[in-house]
Amino acid sequence: MRTLLKRGKRWLYLAHRWLGILTCLLFVTWFVSGLVMMYVGFPSLTETERRGSLPRLAWDQVVVTPREALEAAGQTRFPRDLRLTMLDREPVYRIVGWDGGQATVSAAERRPITGVDAEQALSVARHDRRAQQPQLFGKVDRDQWSVTARYDPLRPFHLITLGDPDDTRLYVSARTGQIALDTTGGERFWNWFGAIPHWIYLTPLRAQVEMWRDVVLWVSGVAIVGAVTGLWVGLLRVRLRRRYASGSVSPYRGWAAWHHIGGLLGGLTLLTFVASGWLSMNPNRWFGPRAPSQAMLERYAGVTAPRWDLDLAAVHATACSDVVEVRFAWLGGEPQAVLSCQDGSTLACCSSAAQPAPPEVSTLTTAAQQLLPGVPIREAALLTEEDAYWYSHHLQRRLPVLRVKFADPDATWFHIDPTTGEVLNRADRSSRTYRWLFNAPHSFDFRFLLQRRPVWDAVLWLLSAAGLIISVSGVVIGWRRLSGVR
């Protein structure tokens, strides 16, 4: 038994040594890039930026009804999303099908729009509030910032520079003419030190979704083993009572001592960060989906036929004077229109009575019952402030919000916008568990810290510093061993 324990300990030390050499540089990269990501996120087009690029809707040119637009686009069901907006100076319907496909139909001529040239894309970009001297930068199909699959229905893109102080670039779809993405010079620079190395977001790899997912899972999985073996070795080598001859609790000197003591003090933090990062990839699909399914949303809408029954004149009559977009939907079998104004406000319209008022909470609750038919609603509450599951952190949450809890085996919740009736998310027991296994230990997004933002920053910097002590000292030790330096 002693021989086996001795051999096991030897293999433990060797495993940690070589796993450390393989992963310590990764840990340095992850901690540094994580600090960058606290302040600079990966480029995306926010709702405020998107609306800021839309010109005022030209109602006088709209002659095509939503039903006619759906017919022209060949839709056999009411789509996932249907909007009336402007393509430069022409009103158009933008349609997103349940399969993710997108179509654009002229609201002035009932003509499908299948392409947008560079000059028209430049005209679209001129409507952006940030535009000063827009210029065509080129045409791209996929690059570092538009790599993910959600942009596939819109590729390729006309890349437009706005000539503003932030060096903003717009990605205008060459298929539909809509702005899909914007990036600033600061975002493009800092992301090379932030999200790109942190997520291993290299374009050729990230374009292959499953391959990228497997790489991240395996790399972080190996790093977890390295962290666990390090904690184990550190505990075996520490002496708190019968100290070493030097009087120290550690037998090591120099960088090795920094690595040992740092590992004892911050090793659990390092392990927590990498393990929660591994869980973020949803290994083995342990965590359920966070979006309602097509069947749920269609039952909630109450209508699946490709039609919308209200007269557009009723919507126009109740619209704000500077409306930039109208979203058409169904709610419990009643047609709904959500109007977005240039000042950022939203107006719900109209129901069959054509009154400009948001749906009643009771109406929403009745419609929500169809999300999980036959399952009783345990609670329906209107939240006016954030809680542990509905909070803003790198993503602004809408308030107030209606939270509907069901008494199903998965204890499913839905959050619904009471102004528009839109189902914002779905959260079952597994996704709420994910919130505590990933978000909490990886981002420390506890409300008592987020409400005191300088405290949150200080905590993350302190924990990251501990992780950097371990990983930087590990890099030095590994380099010296590989180069033969003692």
Answer whether residue 420 shows pLDDT above 50.
Answer: yes
* Angstrom distance (rounded) from CA 274 to CA 50: 35
Answer whether residue 485 shows pLDDT above 80.
Answer: no
Answer whether residue 250 shows pLDDT above 70.
Answer: yes
Position 460 confidence tier, pLDDT thresholds 50, 70, 90? very high
Domains along the chain?
2-39+204-287+453-483 (no CATH), 55-107+291-357 (no CATH), 115-190 (3.10.450), 358-427 (3.10.450)
Residues 438-458 have a mean pLDDT of: 92
Q: Which residue has the tokens 């037998």?
A: 251
How confident is the model over 306-363, as pLDDT tens digits? 999 888 988 888 778 889 999 999 999 999 999 998 888 888 887 544 445 567 788 8
* Angstrom distance (rounded) from CA 369 to CA 2: 64
Position 394 confidence tier, pLDDT thresholds 50, 70, 90? confident
Q: Where are the alpha helices (DSSP H) in 238-286?
A: 255-279
Residues 26-52 have a mean pLDDT of: 94
Q: What is the pLDDT of residue 353?
A: 47
Answer whether residue 3 shows pLDDT above 90.
Answer: no
| % residues pLDDT > 90 (the chain) | 79
Mean pLDDT score of the chain, rounded to an integer?
Answer: 92
Burial of 343 (0-12, 13-18, 19+ CB in 10 A): exposed
Q: Which of 220, 180, 166, 221 is nearest to 198 (CA)?
A: 220
What's phi and psi for 326, nearest 5 deg? -130, 125
Q: Which of 7, 10, 27 is nearest to 478 (CA)?
A: 27
Where b means 16+ CB within 10 Å and e means fewer, 287-324 reads: bbeeebeeebbbbbbebeebbbebebebbbebbbeebb
How confident is the model over 98-141, as pLDDT tens digits? 999 999 999 999 999 999 999 999 999 999 999 999 999 999 99
Q: 13: Cβ–Cβ under 8 A, 6 or more apart, which residues?
A: 233
Q: 90: Cβ–Cβ under 8 A, 6 or more apart, which residues?
A: 58, 61, 106, 107, 108
How confident is the model over 181-214, as pLDDT tens digits? 999 999 999 999 999 999 999 999 999 999 999 9
* Overall pTM surpassing 0.85 (yes/no): yes
Q: What is the pLDDT of residue 166?
A: 96
